[in-house]
Structure 1
Amino acid sequence: MARIFCIASLALAAVSAVSGHVIPHTHKRGPPAGWQAGILQNYTTYHERYLNWDCDKQHNTDFFEKCCHPLLKHESLSVLDSLGCGCDNDDGDSPAVPSPTPSSSSQPSHKTPSYNTPSNTPSSPASSPTTPVETPKDNVAPPAVEPTSTSHTSSSPSPSPPAQTSGSNDGGQAHNGGIATFFYQNGAPGACGKVHQDTDFICAMDQDLYNRQLNSDGESVLCGQQVKITLVSDKTKSVTVTVADDCPTCQNTNSIDLSLAAFQKLASLDKGDVAISWEFVNN
């Protein structure tokens, strides 16, 4: 009996350790530090479910607490179904995809990226929101499943960005209403064709903005340009980065995905995402 209690305690501790993490809304991700592979479900499977159910947009909600945490290795998706998450019975290692609402449009998830473990005890039944299906992109690195592509611990909701203003890539013109996130490089080249390290000061621009002007090689004219990014909540904090990739999962055209080193110039990784303004600084 003591042995059984010890094993149960170990499993509970592993889930608790993971439940504090928030999965970054980005691409190119791998299991975060501390992921208990021997106790928790397959990380890639969890990451796909996290993205498909838009968990990154539902922090601090009942749905997130019930449906957006990783399962234990022996659990199946029927556990989530019993909590009202809207999934079919499964073996726990197959990604469940909720049915999209008629008005929703699916958005491809870039080199994937965090997680939280659902409670096995159902809480008061509340209808869970139906979320759009995200189709993974071809050049996806091991699902950075936002299933832990970036390991952050944040229970604070994503900041509400100010009204968005758009503009060209003229130097000095401010772009507001964006959200900064971060992603791991995982040794994969970005859309601009170069491999970078997590310590490099680079960024991925929103895919729609990136694709507006392409050269004869199909590469964006934004590649190599420098962008100065300022934290909205503390304008004394800013960082200048070089465009090296595109971001299909960014919140809007003024949102930017940053390397780890660049994001940490603005905030700690456990913030997950922060409101920003930015401008091109090329001569």
Structure 2
Amino acid sequence: AAAPSHGAVRPHAHRSVAAQVQERGYAQDSDLLEPYATYAERYQLFDCEDKHNTTFWDGCCHPLLADESESNLPDSCWANPTTSTHKTTAPATTTTSSGSGGSWRTGGFGTYFYQEGNAGACGNKNSDSAKIVAIDIAYYGNTGEVSSYCGKKVRIVNTDNGKTVDAEIADVCPTCKNDNCLDMSLGTFEALS
């Protein structure tokens, strides 16, 4: 099967919070608001279910308007997510494949994150040195289930220096810089540096 090539800006440990965020009522304003899946992922990432009636809730836990981006959120929203610490680097082109016979995708950014003892959406805890990667929610699918991509390998090539690494899909990306980004563990990222 062809391998996905998406990555996230902020990976997270999977929890069932998205299921608790009710889509009911959201549909009536869907033309005015960001996609529900995007909002639900951020709600989960920010651990909003535990922050009702706080200034954090007021500033960070509401859906954005359709013409807004996450850059409109206050910096304080990103300062304390209950998930892996994420580091963004300068844009780097990444290319991925499933290794044998998969399709290649190019033009992404490579970023990395720290595990901090959290399990990825695929359910496993990994060390920072593990060769793992997070994929976009569009590939991952339903975050309430383990994706069929979990455990599959992708080959990532840094087209700037030719270095290559194979990494296992272990997490989902709640947001992406573009459709071909990958969010990697520190070990995966360093293998490409």
Task: Report Cα offsets for 1:151-204 as digits up to 9, x if no partner.
Answer: x8x7xxx33769xx9x99994211111111000001111000011110111110
Task: Report Cα offsets for 1:209-259 as digits up to 9, x if no partner.
Answer: 211xx59x7211110100000002122x01000000011132123211111
**Bigger radius of gyration, 1 or 2?**
1
Aligned CA distance change for structure 1 residues 186 and 210 (closer, same or farther; 3 Å): same
- Is contact 2:121–2:171 with CA below 8 Å preserved after alignment? yes
Query: 2:91 aligned with 1:159, yes or no?
Result: yes
Higher helix proportion (structure 1 or 2): 2
Tell me the residue number matched to 1:244: 170
Query: 2:113 aligned with 1:183, yes or no?
Result: yes
DSSP-derived class of the 2:106 partner: strand
Aligned CA distance change for structure 1 residues 170 and 221 (closer, same or farther; 3 Å): farther
Query: 2:67 aligned with 1:103, yes or no?
Result: yes
* Distance in 1 (alpha carbons) for counterparts of 2:146 and 2:77: 21
- Residue in structure 2 matching 1:210, options 140, 152, 159: 140
* Distance in 2 (alpha carbons) for counterparts of 1:245 and 1:266: 19
* Distance in 2 (alpha carbons) for counterparts of 1:178 and 1:206: 12
Higher strand proportion (structure 1 or 2): 2
Aligned CA distance change for structure 1 residues 170 and 238 (closer, same or farther; 3 Å): closer
Query: 2:127 aligned with 1:197, yes or no?
Result: yes
- Residue in structure 2 matching 1:220, options 131, 136, 147: 147
* Distance in 2 (alpha carbons) for counterparts of 1:226 and 1:143: 21
DSSP-derived class of the 2:119 partner: coil
- Is contact 2:9–2:111 with CA below 8 Å preserved after alignment? yes
Structure 1 gap segments, 5+ residues each: 1-23, 29-93, 107-130, 268-283
DSSP-derived class of the 1:200 partner: coil
Shift of 1:142: 5.2
Tell me the residue number matched to 1:141: 82
Aligned CA distance change for structure 1 residues 169 and 220 (closer, same or farther; 3 Å): farther
- Residue in structure 1 matching 2:72, options 123, 132, 135: 132
Task: Write the letter of the residue equivalent to 2:165.
Answer: V
Query: 2:175 aligned with 1:263, yes or no?
Result: no
Sequence identity (%): 31
Aligned CA distance change for structure 1 residues 101 and 265 (closer, same or farther; 3 Å): same
Aligned CA distance change for structure 1 residues 142 and 206 (closer, same or farther; 3 Å): closer
Task: Report Cα offsets for 1:28-82 as digits up to 9, x if no partner.
Answer: 6xxxxxxxxxxxxxxxxxxxxxxxxxxxxxxxxxxxxxxxxxxxxxxxxxxxxxx
* Distance in 2 (alpha carbons) for counterparts of 1:160 and 1:225: 23
- Is contact 2:128–2:186 with CA below 8 Å preserved after alignment? yes
Moved more, 243-252 or 186-195: 243-252
Aligned CA distance change for structure 1 residues 192 and 177 (closer, same or farther; 3 Å): same
CA-based RMSD of the aligned residues comes to 4.1
- Is contact 1:203–1:258 with CA below 8 Å preserved after alignment? yes
Tell me the residue number matched to 2:10: 26
- Is contact 1:141–1:186 with CA below 8 Å preserved after alignment? no
Structure 2 gap segments, 5+ residues each: 1-7, 13-54
